[in-house]
């Protein structure tokens, strides 16, 4: 019986043949001759024994009859793979089905070994990852970080060349980390480049990739896609990314991002990625300033879409919002109500296979990515592949990602603006009041947060192919903050123990012009920082909560999957939780950068009635610690309220400022975020 952990070795060295050695222990798959590709089958003895006496472990691979792989193999091994292309989604869906339908881990191992040298390496990684996350017999497995397997999507070509040299010349014990320069994609002549640390952060891009891995939008097994409140989560996760991005813009003296409202306008911002795809052996194409979108007609990609199609889909979605219902494929009305309307819209706008009517409402969000990513070569005249907007692991690097998603968010907000405002009764928690809140770093002055730069090392060796083995580290600079603690004083006058759901948000206090923000604008910039349950004894209570416990973030080790550090004991429920949880906003990006003189923010804390909000389910071993943006594996979203509550709707009449919005169970305090322009080395 095959050990399911061996399947993870198939992620190592993605462009090398499958029979090459893998893993920290020198491990080889004993591949049946019939599984070898045409190039290696005639010399099977020679190539299969290359590693010789150094092998520490051999994994037998059963020779079974292989399912029809013609569809997965129709994408070339050296082409770029994109989830945004319908043709590629169909191909991936087929390969996921094949992996999901294998009867045992043994059969899955055989098919995966056979497929690995025949299908596109990025497609293989994606399809096998989705299958391992969703098969009952492999769910406990821990997927390696995508950045370790495909470092070329996260770091620039010059660094990769230096890392190759280091690993070829220097023995593993003596290798030095190669530093990724901080300013390699643009100069300070480009104001947008001030946000390099957000857009090009490894953790932020890994979060986006992993989120789409947990929430695929296409598979013939509907249960893989049809997860609880999936469409609403698509809306909320991306809305939060835009809110966070705008706070970072304020931290760099820039105005909020302008939505890409008119699809026929030129895109003002250019972007030059300076990365090479190791799979396609091509540079990621740039987009020049002032590029316009054009109708797409790319025969090889089976793409024939006009800008007019996007505009029609958008208009139909707006019409549905204004009418309060969508039409499904049978012509029945599906109400866009308070409870499920946002979920229906999310699946429709993205769009996933859960869309009520893909023919009528189209594929707006995904096609927007595709149009922008092919703007440099819309007809394939120059045989160029898509730009970074065409891949979920690279899209967030490009300034236009935030313009496009601000536009998508506007459509969602149109729906939200038509819902009735929350009433005092819906917001209040009778008998419970907050008497004071404070946030402070250890030993620091109250309500002052501090950020700085940190350098951390990440091992990229899994993705360095055809080179001597051993660790190869990249050293990257990222934002970091001093850890802090919330202190919340709550009075419970009810005379009995109650439970409260503590909801913590933060938003800029002033707008771009330095004027106090109006509630209708500020609510869209509210960043969720944490959400947790607290027991409230009768009388006064003091609740303390550390920033590292946030329901939004995951710690550094999990973002970068240093799988040997801080690992829970084997077989424990906590290990299961550790395994699934690559999805989560990186903890080092929890708070915005701030300004040297301090960025004025407002901290908002609410204690809502947990009896109204609770979802009764068992969460241990279910990866619930980053549930705000990622949900919980195989479980319901752990909050009955709408995502973003209480800021997801327009405020009640007469509330123009946040202070007028407050009920006794809410409180606000001014907080300053001060940035210190210093760099510290992370202690591993």
- The answer, yes or no, to whether residue 564 has pLDDT greater than 70, is no
- The answer, yes or no, to whether residue 539 has pLDDT greater than 90, is yes
Give the pLDDT band of residue 625 (cuts 50, 70, 90): low
In this prediction, residues 584-613 reach a mean pLDDT of: 96
Range in 51-55, 171-175, 411-415, 490-494 the model is least confident about: 51-55
- Angle made by CA atoms 346, 352, 357, in degrees to the nearest 5: 85
Q: What percent of the chain has pLDDT over 70?
A: 95
Contacts for 437 with CB less than 8 Å, ≥ 6 apart: 486, 487, 488, 489, 603, 605, 667, 668, 669
Catalytic residue flag (residue 319): no
Q: In this predicted model, what pLDDT tens digit does every residue of 445-488 receive, in sequence order? A: 999 999 999 998 888 888 888 788 888 888 899 999 999 999 99
Specify whether the CB–CB gap between 284 and 275 falls below 8 A: yes
Catalytic member of 79, 192, 232, 350: 350
- The answer, yes or no, to whether residue 577 has pLDDT greater than 70, is no
Strands 599-609 and 484-492: unpaired
How far is Cα of residue 99 from the mean position of the Cα atoms in its chain?
24
Structural domains of the chain sorted by starting position, each given as residue range(s) with its CATH number in brackets: 4-138 (1.20.1370.10), 192-418 (1.10.1280.10), 424-463+473-681 (2.60.40.1520)
Q: In this predicted model, what pLDDT tens digit does every residue of 297-339 receive, in sequence order? A: 999 889 999 999 999 999 999 999 999 999 999 999 999 999 9
Asked if omega into 503 is within 30° of 0 (cis), the reply is: no
φ, ψ for residue 534, nearest 5 deg: -130, 140
**Tokens standing for residue 222:** 């509907």
Q: In this predicted model, what pLDDT tens digit does every residue of 307-317 receive, in sequence order? A: 999 999 999 99
Q: How far apart are CA 23 and CA 461, in angstroms?
A: 10
Q: What is the pLDDT of residue 563?
A: 47
Q: In this predicted model, what pLDDT tens digit does every residue of 429-457 receive, in sequence order? A: 999 999 999 999 988 999 999 999 999 88
In this prediction, residues 249-264 reach a mean pLDDT of: 97
């Amino acid at each position: 019986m095959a050990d399911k952990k061996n399947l993870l070795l198939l992620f190592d060295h993605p462009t090398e043949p499958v029979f090459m050695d893998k893993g920290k222990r020198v491990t080889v798959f004993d591949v049946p001759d019939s599984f070898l590709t045409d190039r290696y089958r005639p010399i099977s003895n020679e190539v299969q024994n290359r590693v010789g006496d150094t092998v520490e472990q051999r994994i037998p691979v059963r020779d079974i009859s292989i399912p029809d792989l013609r569809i997965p193999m129709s994408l070339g091994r050296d082409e770029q793979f994109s989830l945004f292309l319908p043709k590629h989604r169909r191909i991936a869906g087929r390969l996921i089905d094949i992996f999901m339908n294998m009867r045992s881990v043994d059969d899955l191992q055989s098919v995966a070994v056979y497929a690995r040298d025949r299908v596109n390496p990025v497609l293989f990684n994606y399809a096998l990852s989705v299958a391992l996350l969703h098969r009952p017999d492999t769910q406990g497995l821990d997927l390696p970080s995508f950045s370790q397997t495909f470092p070329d999507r996260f770091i620039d070509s010059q660094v990769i060349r230096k890392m190759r040299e280091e690993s070829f010349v220097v023995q593993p014990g003596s290798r030095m980390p190669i530093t990724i320069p901080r300013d390699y994609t643009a100069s300070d002549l480009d104001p947008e480049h001030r946000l390099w640390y957000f857009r090009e952060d490894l953790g932020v891009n890994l979060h986006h990739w992993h989120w789409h891995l947990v929430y695929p939008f296409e598979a013939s097994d509907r249960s893989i896609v049809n997860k609880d409140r999936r469409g609403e989560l698509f809306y909320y996760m991306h809305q939060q990314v835009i809110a966070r991005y705008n706070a970072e813009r304020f931290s760099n003296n820039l105005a909020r991002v302008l939505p890409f409202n008119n699809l026929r306008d030129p895109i003002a911002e250019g972007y030059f990625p300076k990365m090479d795809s190791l799979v396609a052996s091509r540079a990621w194409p740039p987009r020049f300033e002032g590029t316009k979108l054009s109708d797409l007609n790319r025969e090889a990609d089976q793409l024939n879409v006009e800008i007019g199609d996007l505009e029609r889909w958008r208009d139909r979605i707006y019409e549905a919002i204004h009418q309060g219902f969508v039409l499904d494929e049978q012509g029945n009305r599906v109400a866009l109500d308070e409870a499920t309307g946002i979920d229906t819209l999310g699946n429709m706008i993205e769009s996933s296979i859960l869309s009520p009517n893909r023919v009528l409402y189209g594929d707006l969000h995904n096609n927007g990515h595709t149009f922008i990513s092919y703007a440099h070569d819309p007809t394939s005249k120059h045989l160029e592949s898509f730009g970074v907007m065409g891949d979920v692991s690279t899209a967030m690097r490009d300034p236009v990602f935030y313009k496009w998603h601000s536009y998508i968010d506007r459509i969602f907000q149109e729906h939200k603006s038509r819902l009735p405002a929350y009433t005092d009764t819906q917001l209040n928690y009778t008998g419970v009041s907050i008497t004071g809140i404070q946030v402070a770093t250890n030993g620091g002055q109250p309500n002052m947060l501090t950020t700085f730069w940190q350098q951390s090392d990440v091992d990229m060796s899994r993705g360095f192919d055809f080179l001597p083995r051993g660790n190869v580290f990249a050293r990257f600079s990222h934002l970091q903050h001093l850890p802090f603690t919330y202190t919340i004083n709550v009075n419970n006058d009810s005379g009995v123990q109650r439970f409260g759901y503590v909801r913590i948000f933060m938003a800029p206090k002033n707008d771009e012009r330095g004027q106090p923000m109006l509630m209708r604008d500020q609510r869209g910039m509210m960043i969720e920082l944490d959400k947790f349950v607290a027991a409230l004894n009768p009388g006064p209570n003091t609740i303390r909560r550390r920033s590292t416990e946030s329901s939004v973030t995951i710690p550094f080790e999990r973002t970068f999957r240093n799988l040997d550090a801080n690992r829970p004991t084997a077989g424990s429920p906590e290990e299961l939780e550790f395994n699934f949880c690559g999805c989560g906003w990186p903890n080092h990006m929890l708070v915005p950068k701030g300004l040297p003189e301090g960025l004025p923010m407002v901290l908002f804390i609410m204690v809502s009635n947990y009896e109204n909000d609770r979802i009764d389910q068992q969460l241990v071993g279910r990866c619930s610690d980053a549930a705000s943006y990622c949900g919980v594996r195989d479980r319901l979203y752990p909050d009955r309220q709408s995502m973003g509550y209480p800021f997801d709707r327009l405020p009640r009449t007469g509330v123009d400022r946040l202070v007028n919005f407050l009920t006794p169970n809410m409180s606000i305090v001014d907080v300053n975020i001060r940035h210190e322009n210093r760099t510290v080395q992370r202690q591993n």
